[in-house]
Amino acid sequence: MMKPHLRIAWLVLAVLLAVGAPLVGFQGVTIQKDITVATGESQDNIFTVGGNAVVDGKVRQSVFAIGGTITVSGEVGDSVVGIGCRVIIKSTAVVRHDVVSLGGTLEKEPGCTIQGDTVYLKGSDIAGKIFGGGVVHGFFSLSFLPIILILKLVIAVGWLVLAVVGAAAFPKPIAFAAGELRKSFWLAFAIGFLAHIAFIGLVIFAALLSIILLGIPILFALITAGLAIKVFGRVILFAFFGESLLRAFGSKSFSTMGAVLTGLLLVTLVGFLPVVGFLFGLFINLVGWGIVIRTKFGTTVNMFQKKQVVAPTPVAPAV
């Protein structure tokens, strides 16, 4: 029998592949809460979190939703993927590849066309796969290890959402910073290490000031800035590792979204390795901080480099 931690690792891989595969190579992603493709209209891809995706027309590639509802009565050129949401495939719907529903509900009307596979796992089914299908008796009967792995699964899905949103909203800064990271990887690590020391010192200082209320807004600002740097840096690392992996397998053309999601898969799998995954996470966190600070969120080559002031050319006195 497969060990629990290996079973959960495979489940995470299946979720990320099911979600990530339709998104790799996205050329046009529509990201909104509620999205409707009316009859006669067409879009490339759809991504929504907690909203309603209604496809009466045509989506040329894939539909992906976390929470909310997916309703398809038109045509989807690739796959329909729902996590924790209600997926409704009407009788007139045509899905050229797969329909995947994880942790939600799936309703298929007679007459619908699904040319690929249908994958449907309820929340109870997922829990059964994680815990080996056994019934858990008592509040303290869960072992500590599966709880940690479940948290890793939740974190992996969270990073998936952040990676998709970040790559769609800031493709050029992320690609630029990933390119600069290739030129100055260890320098970025050094900057990130020093920045972490400074950041921890500032947080402690602000926490002490919070005793007299003066440091509360400073502490809040520091935490907000730290989260922004961490998230942006991690997405840059996803792009960096994903691009390296894709090039290693001979791919010459890929989008920022494709590189980010490929790197996400790699980093997630490494993260499930005992001890090594933890140390790897700390290491890339430092590198991410360093490249974000060095490139100023992907907007400059080196924010520490002083701009050279060109002295004016002396004008010869008139004779």
Instruction: Label residue 124 by pLDDT band (50, 70, 90).
Output: low
* 178/61 same-domain check: no
Q: Are residues 235 and 290 in the same domain?
A: yes
Under a CB-based contact definition with an 8 Å cutoff, are residues 289 and 196 in contact? yes
At 106-122, the pLDDT tens digits run 999 999 999 887 878 76
The DSSP bridge partners found for residue 52 are: 69
pLDDT the model gives residue 7: 44
In a domain, residue 133? The reply is no
Q: Does residue 278 share a domain with residue 181?
A: yes
Is 163 within a domain?
no
Determine, yes or no, domain membership for 309.
no
Q: Do 188 and 97 share a structural domain?
A: no
State how many domains the chain has: 2
Confidence (pLDDT) at 23: 46
Residue 313 lies in a domain: no
Q: Of the candidates 66, 95, 124, which is a domain's last residue? A: 124
Least confident of 57-61, 91-95, 147-151, 175-179: 147-151
**240/179 same-domain check:** yes
- 83 versus 91: which is more confidently predicted? 91
Residues 174 and 289 in one domain: yes
Token pair in block for residue 95: 């899905």
Intra-chain end-to-end CA distance of the chain, in Å: 97
Residue 8 has pLDDT above 60, yes or no: no
Q: What is the pLDDT of residue 107?
A: 92
Both 217 and 289 in one domain: the answer is yes
- Is residue 311 domain-resident? no
> Of 94, 124, 154, which residue is a domain's last?
124
Concatenated DSSP letters for 232-254? HHHHHHHHHHHHHHHHHTT----
- In angstroms, the CA 112 to CA 119 distance is 15
Q: DSSP string of 114-127?
A: E-S-EEEE-HHHHH
Residue 27 lies in a domain: yes
Instruction: Give the range of the structural domain holding residue 286, as residue numbers without chain letter.
Output: 170-295
**113 & 194 share domain:** no
Asked if 90 and 193 sit in the same domain, the reply is no
Task: Grade residue 242 by pLDDT with cuts at 50, 70 and 90.
Answer: confident
Domain final position from 106, 124, 142: 124
Q: Would you mind telling me the total number of residues written for the chain in this entry?
A: 319
88 in the same domain as 202: no
The helix (run of H) or strand (run of E) holding residue 112 is none
Does 24 map to a domain? yes
Instruction: Report yes or no on 196 lying in a domain.
Output: yes
